[in-house]
């Protein structure tokens, strides 16, 4: 993506939530993680506006901070987001919800003391980590006051925040889009496992200095998540804590069109999704699964997701094995319209299956590189969709067999 991009701007990495004007951020070690690594992040909007929108996990088992933030977002107004890693605060009952509430109140008090009158109802809370344990509030609450004093307006504050939300992530994820009309969108993300199926297990905070209403932000955010995070599926698991927030402060005084806003938010989300895929737990292959020729886009998406989640397809890719029969078996069980004799498959552009039968040389296709693009043409219609996924490796098993202990 370059400055000649039709979206009218330029996408850059290594800039995140503080790339737009009028946002401050920080990341510190509160002592929630036993390792002593950074585990508390703050994103703060200086205004003058505080419009916001959010998208949350569809899991019926929702963490306390999700239940809290959903209520906050109903007002369409957010002044700050406080995020912790080191504990999901999920399945923690009324006590866990009270911990979230207390955290928001503590931050409101600290921000008010710092000079910005803030209510707890303007503060979103996000948590990530192990499910089922209460947070160490004796460490968290003093750190909430501390982080208010730490936050800065430079790019480094955003990067510190991106570091502090990491769990099994190996690198922070940031992206920013600078529109030529002098307004910007920035974002940070975390998430490496439990990635799917409607949003990855992820926390994402997006910021913009554009002038936009909560309704415009909501449209831009849903449009973007539907095409990016919703189509990232590492392991078919969907977490209790998924949260994507978009805050607008109007500091640029520019009012983009809805289409411009949609495109900019989509560009940032798409890049963050690619970064999440590339850093997924145990990943050795970045895999794109595209279904074309489906009767419609929804069916293409269902088919692509079925292949992207198939353990046998994913282990074959880990072994660089062009075992296309497993792709056929996986798509064949998807609840979509199929004619087995019209299915064709290619791996990285090389045909491996044509009209339901093996293509010459199919067993010799070289999949030893880090990127694999599977295209499955159903030969029925115009519907197409792509899912981002990864291989299923020893590293994934290793990392996930020893997480809570």
Active site residue 390: no
User: Residue 167 annotated as binding?
Assistant: yes
Q: Calculate ∠ Cα 97-32-141, nearest 5°.
A: 60
The separation between CA 302 and the C-alpha centre of its own chain, rounded to angstroms, equals 20
Nearest CA among 13, 51, 8, 16 for reference residue 214: 51
Measured between alpha carbons, how far is residue 142 from residues 145, 149, 263, 399 in Å? 6, 12, 40, 32
Smaller CB separation from its own copies, 246 or 392: 392
Residue 119 is a binding residue for its own copies (CB under 8 A): no
Contact (Cβ atoms closer than 8 angstroms) between residue 289 and residue 386: yes
Report residue 303 as tokens: 């088919």
When binding is defined by CB under 8 A, the residue of 126, 238, 273, 374 that contacts its own copies is 238
Q: In the block, which residue shows the tokens 């291989």?
A: 391
**Please, which of residues 239-278 interact with its own copies by CB under 8 A?**
239-240
Residue 62 is a binding residue for its own copies (CB under 8 A): yes
User: Residue 100 annotated as binding?
Assistant: no
User: Residue 323 annotated as binding?
Assistant: no
When binding is defined by CB under 8 A, the residue of 31, 70, 321, 350 that contacts its own copies is 321
Residue 298 is a binding residue for its own copies (CB under 8 A): no
Q: At its nearest, how many Å lie between its own copies and the CB of residue 383?
A: 17
Q: How far apart are CA 302 and CA 378, in angstroms?
A: 13
Residue 98 is a binding residue for its own copies (CB under 8 A): no
Exactly one of 18, 92, 201, 390 is catalytic; name it.
201
Residue 300 is a binding residue for its own copies (CB under 8 A): no
Measured between alpha carbons, how far is residue 306 from residues 32, 275, 377, 403 in Å? 37, 22, 15, 26
Residue 404 is a binding residue for its own copies (CB under 8 A): yes
Contact (Cβ atoms closer than 8 angstroms) between residue 189 and residue 173: yes
Q: 350 pairs with which residues across the strands?
A: 347
Residue 133 is a binding residue for its own copies (CB under 8 A): yes
Window of 12-20, 57-65, 184-192, 257-265 that interacts with its own copies by CB under 8 A: 57-65
When binding is defined by CB under 8 A, the residue of 181, 355, 366, 369 that contacts its own copies is 355
Smaller CB separation from its own copies, 193 or 250: 193
């Amino acid at each position: 993506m370059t400055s000649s991009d039709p979206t009218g701007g330029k996408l850059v990495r290594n800039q995140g939530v503080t790339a737009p004007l009028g946002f401050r951020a920080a990341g510190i070690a509160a002592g929630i993680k036993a390792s002593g690594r950074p585990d508390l992040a703050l994103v703060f909007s200086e205004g003058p506006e505080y419009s916001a929108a959010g998208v949350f996990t569809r899991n019926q088992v929702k963490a306390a901070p999700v239940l809290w933030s959903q209520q906050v977002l109903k007002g369409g107004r957010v002044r700050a987001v406080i995020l912790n890693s080191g504990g999901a605060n999920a399945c923690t009952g009324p006590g866990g919800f009270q911990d979230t509430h207390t955290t928001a109140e503590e931050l409101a008090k600290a921000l008010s003391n710092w000079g910005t009158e803030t209510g707890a109802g303007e503060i979103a809370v996000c948590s990530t980590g192990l499910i089922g344990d209460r947070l160490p509030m004796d460490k968290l609450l003093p750190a909430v006051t501390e982080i208010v004093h730490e936050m800065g307006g430079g790019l480094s504050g955003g990067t510190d925040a991106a570091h502090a939300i990491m769990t099994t992530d190996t690198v922070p994820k940031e992206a920013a889009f600078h529109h030529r009309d002098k307004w910007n969108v920035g974002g940070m993300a975390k998430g490496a496992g439990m990635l799917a199926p409607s949003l990855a297990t992820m926390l994402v905070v997006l910021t913009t200095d554009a002038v936009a209403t909560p309704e415009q932000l909501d449209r831009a955010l849903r449009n973007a998540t539907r095409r990016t995070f919703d189509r990232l599926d590492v392991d078919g698991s969907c977490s209790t804590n998924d949260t994507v927030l978009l805050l607008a402060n109007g500091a640029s005084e520019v009012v983009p069109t809805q289409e411009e806003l949609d495109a900019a938010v989509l560009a940032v989300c798409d890049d963050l999704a690619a970064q999440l895929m590339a850093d997924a737990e145990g990943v050795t292959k970045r895999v794109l699964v595209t279904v074309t020729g489906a009767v419609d886009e929804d069916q293409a998406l269902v088919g692509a997701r079925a292949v992207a989640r198939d353990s046998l397809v994913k282990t074959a890719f880990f072994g660089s094995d062009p075992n296309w029969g497993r792709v056929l078996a996986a798509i064949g069980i998807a609840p979509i319209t199929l004619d087995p004799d019209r299915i064709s498959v290619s791996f990285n552009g090389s045909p491996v299956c044509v009209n339901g039968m093996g293509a010459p040389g199919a067993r010799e296709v070289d999949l030893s590189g880090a990127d694999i693009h599977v295209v499955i043409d159903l030969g029925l219609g115009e519907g197409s969709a792509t899912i981002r996924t990864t291989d299923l490796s020893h590293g994934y098993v290793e990392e996930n067999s020893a997480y809570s202990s």
